[in-house]
Structure 1
């Protein structure tokens, strides 16, 4: 998903935004032949994501720069650990520093938050029984591939990447069907007839009463949206393993253990990307 071409395109755009006509500061203060070594060091605990992106920022700024990634993505780190080392022309290091850190801090923030949600779900369930923690489409425009990749670095999984991946009939779609006088079950069955055999259908429900309709319509996945814990347990019982059960709606770290223990298969968490706080990383000179 996060290919080298996607990385290079986004990083090049970020460098062009930050330095459209050259870096006037380094060009007037740093000798052109000066070389140095800088290390990526965290100021707080976290989980790493974005090593390739970090390296790309320096490579694209100055191909003479050498970047050694000391830890793989997905690694937990503590303050003072060395995560990467950059060697070469000082001008290039200083010019690319902020772009490299912006990407890596943001992606590591997502990975760190995801790991916390995964750990909370795992602790609430018997071994091997924890639901998947997945992301949503609530991502920054243009950065979806980066953010969804960061979720996997934290031990989470990806929901659909975009609107083209799967049929997902949400509350507004169902409301529009009702306004048009269309039967939900018939509409879902008609959708099945229009899509390929590999395309899944997910249906969002906001009360247990809607579950039989989704089942009769042939849903592959049923999303229990903003259900109470009691209703979530009831929903899992009603569905009885006939579809994948997803819980969604204002998922916080405090809520995860209770929801995970209800027996759902998946918990989708928009906060993994839309409310994440960057991890504090710095570039320290040797």
Structure 2
């Protein structure tokens, strides 16, 4: 049985897809990467050559995210029959192992126990436009070293047991929380000002074409132009987030464990996800991971 499959769904987000392919394609081999090409975009297909590309229609429709995660859940369930672990998430989310552990993610998964769901601690890579002026070319980590705590992105995203994930991948119908010290999920939405503006323009165009509101589409508010805000002002505010010394996040994992429990009567489990409003500088050892 193969060790791991990586699964994502993408529509035109080629900036993030390139990073996803560099990271998972290098670690796992493209033959173990599954890219759902929403809209059958030619550029996505060309970039993902060598991966398992699943083209689906791109017609605008309501309840987009509900349908998306129904598809992802079923694909993960099928692939789990052939792989020990299946890693699933949005194209702008990448899981890494702290290099201090001395192994990469593939090696870590080789030794990871089966029959579990793993939840990395979520961090958002933020572009500090006041002090980071190096453009992103082949790697993101290095030109970008600042991260902020993002409990919303501590997702149960590595699956090796029968499980259903909630819309967005934020919750799992799994009653234990495995959050290893060395495992992180890095969310890249804010990692580059120019890439952010371009991505938001595309997403606003999609919701405009659908012609429905936030509740009808079941997509995050950030997809809608009226909820977008002023782009540069958003990035300028990153400088105001409290800076923490060091990079010890063991207290975050303890809070996750202490608050873990059922999410009402939904069958899903959750932990509290407060806004800690703290940022860190990633240690130099993370530079060049992707």
The TM-score by the shorter chain falls in which range? under 0.3
* Structure with larger Rg: 1
Which structure has more helix as a fraction of its residues? 1
TM-score, reference length from structure 1: 0.25
